[in-house]
Structure 1
Amino acid sequence: MRRVAIVAPVDALRESLVRIAEAGCVEVDLVGDGGPDVRGPAATRLQRLRAESAHPALSEAAPDLDALEREGRTELLAGEAQLEERLGSAVRHGAVAALAGWCPETMVGATAARIAGAGGALVPLRAPRGVDPPTLLTGADTASPAYAARPVRRSLTPLVSTYGTVPYADLDPSMPAGIVYVVMFGLMFGDAGHGLLLVAIALLLRAGRPRRAAALRPLWPFVAGAGLAATLAGAAYGEFFGPTGVLPVLWLEPLEEPMRLLAAAVGLGAVLLAVAYAAGIVNRWREGGPVAALYATSGIAGATLYLGLAVVAGYVWLGQAAYAVVGAAIAAVGLVLAGVGLYTTTSGGPGGAVQTGIQLFDAVVRIGSNVVSFARLAAFGLTHAALGAIVWDGTTALAGRGPVGVAAALLVFLTGNALAFALEALVAGVQALRLEFYELFSRLFEGEGRPFRPWHLPVQHLTGPTADATPPAAMEAVGPGPAREEEA
């Protein structure tokens, strides 16, 4: 993200801003609270109409505001009101006006070329000290066509943005977080038949069907990924609409080997936590340097404590005393580092020491509970398999009782699978989200950033009485006046 200034002659600023709005890749700074009143003619007319347009737009040329009011063109009045707000936020020096803002580094050149035709310029600036730039994730969905993200990245970004805005200095976790989510979902929703149904639903969303779900269309790659993961897990379990025998068991049968499935789930969780700690170290380093990374419980200190406890767990598993000694020593180093970092955040003294001790105890317990929490991957996978087995047993029991039994068996099979699909899809989706947010994201992020909000409005080309052939007077109507004149 690059700090920029929009600089133009006063009489060319409107056209430059119209082109900025059409490009939709610059976030323009506005006058903050306590600034001068920038309500202009368009905003006043819009207020008189007592209407707000849900889809503001701008006209390429300065319009006749009276004609817009008579015609009830609230969308253009709303767009002009936004334009007036930005014109009023400009600083002027003689015949030149300027506004500051943010623009993605990759879009600076194209945006500068766009406004150069209007007589304006986009000037790169140094970022202000102590101010973090706004965050634009790689797959973020914005109104501007300039950010037409790849469909896969675009479908995974809401998983992160729902949790919060990633700080600008941190890693973009959208793609790995999406992959981890669909893997965990697949383990809990492991049935090849149900997974293929999800893939079919994803294809329907891609085609814009049903129309009521058109807003969900960008999520189709995410749904397809979850369906594919469930299909692969179902193939590993030998599940196809339950234990129908259609597929061979490639790995294990959940109901026959629950402990093996449980161990695999906890092992996967341990690996994911280690990766989360690694990402947390990078984030703490980028946020506050090596000191912040060293002492943070989500940084090197926390990772060292986690490693020590993992080695101690190796002693419990293998029974070799050397693991206990080495693990305890590593965990002690992690506790000391974390304790130093936590103590510096307290008021000091005995009270600070007690607070630090409680926080360290919580950190140890939290690590253990977080690892064990991944056992739900196996638990809900077993639940799905059990529901499938119940439906299949009922189906086979009825199928051998003549034509009526066959019809009843078909009804049980279809109804049972529909209920199992709906219930387990909801449960697996919620549980995967819970593991992602509480166990993993809590180690990646310690703060929250500010989302990048580019100013984007569609531009209309007006003809007839609505268009105004006279030079725009908006700058004089909403200009900052002598009190806002500064060196641009």
Structure 2
Amino acid sequence: MSWREAAQPVRMQRVAVLAPADLLRDVLVRVADAGVVQFEPDGRGGEAARRLHRVRSGDVAPKLAASRPDLDALEGAGRSDLLAGEAELEGHLSAAVRHGAVAGLVGWCPTPDLPGLTANLTAVGGAVVPLPMPVGVDPPTLLRSKGPVHRSFAGLVRTYGTVAYPDVDPTMAAGVAYVLMFGMMFGDAGHGLLLMAAGVTLAIGRPGRLARWRPAWPFVAGAGFTGILFGLLYGEFFGPTGVLPVLWLAPLAEPVRLLTAAVGSGAVLLSVAYAVAIINRWREGGPRLAVYASSGIAGAALFLGIGSVAGGLYLSSDALAVAGAGVAVMGLVLAGIGFFAAAAGGGAAGALQAGVQVFDAVVRVGSNLISFARLAAFGLTHSALGWLVWLGTATLFGTGLLGAFAAVGLFVVGNALSFALEALVAGIQALRLEFYELFSRVFAVEGRPFQPWHVPTEGAASSGEAS
């Protein structure tokens, strides 16, 4: 698989599942067991649905019988699982298009699963016919599962929305950006070790009550690793205890330098977000959308131009400032054209609307970049809490035996509270930056998730499952 294929959702194929009308149930049972086809919305329910309503007791996991069952016997035995499966099957059977002796349904199937599905259905007299993609309708999205790290980071993207089918899969980049931002705010090697230990505990799955959180272990361990990394750079180990030397800067001693680094990190992350956004706009609407969209080349030029002007003023470089101003003006013009073209009605009202949107775009670029200053602000807060706990500990420790016991208690309790508070705050703030500053550029349209119909056949191993 090439890197381009790995960076986009699984390719989908529009298909028609066909069978002789009298064999359609057998074919659909195999489709359900394979779990790799998403059909259009179900049709109406039938006799099984009515019987299920009479015997249902809470939620049940539906199953299907390999051969047509006796519904009276299922109701009498209270087999709500098989009745639930038959009810779903009835819905699809009623939605099937029939022409003479042939019946079929239309749906979506991942391209890699087509050969296996075709062979499976051919064995019982069915067929899978590839269909052309419908104009103006994007397929559902299925992101590739690339291992435990990718699955752990995927929750970030799913929480925000579903990646549109033509777009780049941003899962790994989003996860890396999140843990780096978290670590910059949570920079303490001791606290990072505790968080990494929590990740290892989740990976082991013990105690048993933590087993359901096991898929999140790479996310937690990654956040702990970056906390350790920035703790080493800051010289923090459960506060400024002097255990570690300062490899880069001490936050409380050099807050301006830390603030500059935070804003610079934000500029790099925004640049990556714009690059991905340009690719997405091109795939969604072609070169015109990529050029004129505020999250495309127009917005990237405005961002780059404003950054160059700021850099020129900071470095006293007139040439850089003038060049940046030119690039920013070009971005404003392109964005204005795009806003005007999208405005309803055009004319003076459209021009006014476009002008307001251009002004908003300029304000957003500046505010989004400055928003990354919170990486420094909350990093300073973490360091200040660690310093207060360590100062109190050192002061109590020199006041006798009772003071030594009090110092140990303060050190343990203070670090526990600092760890809990800062882990929560850093986690929320990193999520806020991810969603509002980065994802708001990467995503312009939302896709729909691939939701294959999957009902296992009773007494048979599932022949396939959506990844």
- Give TM class, smaller chain: over 0.9
The match for 1:3 is: 14
Which deviates more, 330-339 or 201-210? 201-210
1:155 Cα deviation after fit: 0.8
Return the match for 2:346 from 332, 341, 348: 348
Choose which of 50, 58, 61 in structure 2 pairs with 1:55. Answer: 61
| Residue 402 (structure 1) shift | 2.9
Q: Which residue number corresponds to residue 50 of structure 2?
A: 44
CA RMSD of aligned residues (A): 1.6
Aligned mates of 1:120, 1:246 — CA distance in 2: 70
In structure 2, how many angstroms separate the alpha carbons of the residues matched to 1:50 and 1:307?
A: 61
Deviations 1:226-280 (A, max 9, x none): 1111111111111111112222221111111111111111001011111111111
**Counterpart of 2:27 in structure 1: which amino acid?**
S
CA contact (8 A) 2:56 2:80 kept: no
The alpha carbon displacement at 1:96 in A equals 2.1
Match of residue 265, structure 1, among 245, 254, 262: 262
Letter in 2 for 1:307: L
Corresponding residue of 2:464: none
Task: Report how far residue 50 of structure 1 moved.
Answer: 4.9
Q: Distance in 2 between the 1:9 and 1:429 partners?
A: 56
Q: 2:26 aligns with which of 6, 10, 15?
A: 15
Asked whether the 8 Å contact 2:71–2:83 carries over to 1, the reply is: yes
> Which amino acid is the alignment partner of residue 294 of structure 2?
T
**Cα distance in 1, alignment partners of residues 69 and 198 from structure 2:** 47
Note the 1:9-158 alignment, pairs <5 A: 9-31=20-42, 38-139=44-145, 150-158=147-155
* Preserved contact between residue 61 and residue 461 of structure 1 (Cα < 8 Å): no
For 1:409 and 1:61, locate their aligned partners in 2 and report how far apart those are by CA, in whole Å.
73
Letter in 1 for 2:41: L
Offset of residue 109 of structure 1: 1.2
Q: Deviations over 1:162-184 (max 9, x none)?
A: 11111111111011001100110
Equivalence for 1:362 = 360
Moved more, 117-126 or 287-296: 117-126
Match of 2:381 among 369, 380, 383: 383
Q: For residues 106 and 429 of structure 1, do their structure 2 counterparts lie closer, same or farther at Cα, with a shift above 3 Å needed?
A: same
**Among 177, 181, 185, which residue is 1:180 paired with?**
177
* Residues 312, 318 of structure 1: alpha-carbon distance in 2 compared, 3 angstrom cutoff: same
SS in structure 2 at match of 1:162? helix
In structure 1, runs of 5+ residues without a counterpart are: 32-36, 140-148, 463-488
Give the unaligned 5+ runs of structure 2: 1-11, 461-467
Could you list the per-position Cα deviations for residues 363-387 of structure 1 after superposition, in whole angstroms to 9, with x for gaps in the alignment? 1111111111101001111111111
Range that drifts further, 406-415 or 375-384: 406-415
Amino acid aligned to 1:73: R
Taking the aligned partners of 1:418 and 1:458, their CA distance within structure 2 comes to 47
Q: Does residue 1:394 correspond to 2:405, yes or no? A: no
Cα distance between partner residues in 2 of 1:418 and 1:436: 27
Runs of at least 4 residues of structure 1 off by over 4 A?
none
Superposed, which structure 2 residues align to 1:295-310 within 5 Å?
295-310=292-307
SS of residue matched to 1:97: strand
Q: 1:207: how far off? A: 2.4
Q: 1:24 to 1:50 in 2, by over 3 A?
A: closer
How far residue 137 of structure 1 moved from its aligned partner, in angstroms, is 1.5
Q: Offset of 1:14 from its aligned partner?
A: 1.9
The separation in 2 between residues aligned to 1:215 and 1:112, in whole angstroms, is: 35
Match for 2:119: what amino acid?
A
SS at match of 2:60: coil
Q: State the alpha-carbon separation in 2 of the partners of residues 185 and 242 from structure 1.
A: 17
Q: Aligned to 1:122, what secondary structure does the other structure show?
A: strand
The one-character-per-residue Cα deviations of 1:52-81 (angstroms, maximum 9, x if unpaired) are: 533222222322221221122212211111
Moved more, 242-251 or 154-163: 242-251
Q: Check whether the contact 1:152–1:221 (CA below 8 A) recurs between aligned residues.
A: yes
Q: TM-score, normalised by structure 2?
A: 0.93
1:210, distance to aligned residue in structure 2 (A): 4.1
Q: Paired residue for 1:439, among 437, 440, 458?
A: 437
Aligned to 2:7: none
Q: State the alpha-carbon separation in 1 of the partners of residues 419 and 294 from structure 2.
A: 40
State which of 405, 411, 430 in structure 2 corresponds to 1:407: 405
Note the 1:202-351 alignment, pairs <5 A.
Answer: 202-346=199-343, 347-351=345-349
Per the TM alignment, residue 298 of structure 1 is displaced from its structure 2 partner at its CA by 0.5
Q: Distance in 2 between matches of 1:321 and 1:268?
A: 24
Amino acid at match of 2:360: D
- 1:446 aligned partner, one-letter code: A
- Give the whole-Å Cα distance in 2 for the aligned partners of 1:173 and 1:231: 25
Code of the residue aligned with 1:293 in structure 2: it is A
Note closer, same or farther for the CA distance 1:281–1:131 as it changes in structure 2 (3 Å cut).
same
Equivalent pair of 2:45/2:88 in contact (CA under 8 Å): no
Structure 2: which amino acid aligns with 1:156? F
Report the CA distance between 1:30 and its aligned residue: 2.9
Q: Which residue of 2 aligns with 1:469?
A: none
Share of identical aligned residues, percent? 62
Query: Higher mean Cα deviation, 112-121 or 162-171?
Result: 112-121
Amino acid in the other structure paired with 2:174: A
Are 1:53 and 1:78, in contact at CA under 8 Å, matched by a contact in 2? Answer: no
* Equivalent position SS for 2:107: strand
| AA of the residue aligned to 2:35 | G
Contact 1:315 / 1:324 at 8 angstroms: preserved in 2? yes
Structure-2 separation of matches of 1:406 and 1:245: 19
Asked if the contact 1:270–1:371 (Cα under 8 Å) also holds between the matched residues in 2, the reply is yes
Question: Separation in 1 of the partners of 2:332 and 2:294?
Answer: 9
Q: Following the alignment from structure 1 to structure 2, what is the Cα–Cα distance between the partners of residues 226 and 15?
A: 49
Compute the TM-score of the two structures, normalised by the length of structure 1: 0.89
Task: State the secondary structure of the residue aligned to 1:401.
Answer: coil
Q: Distance in 2 between matches of 1:15 and 1:217?
A: 38
What is the distance in 2 between the residues matched to 1:105 and 1:296?
A: 31
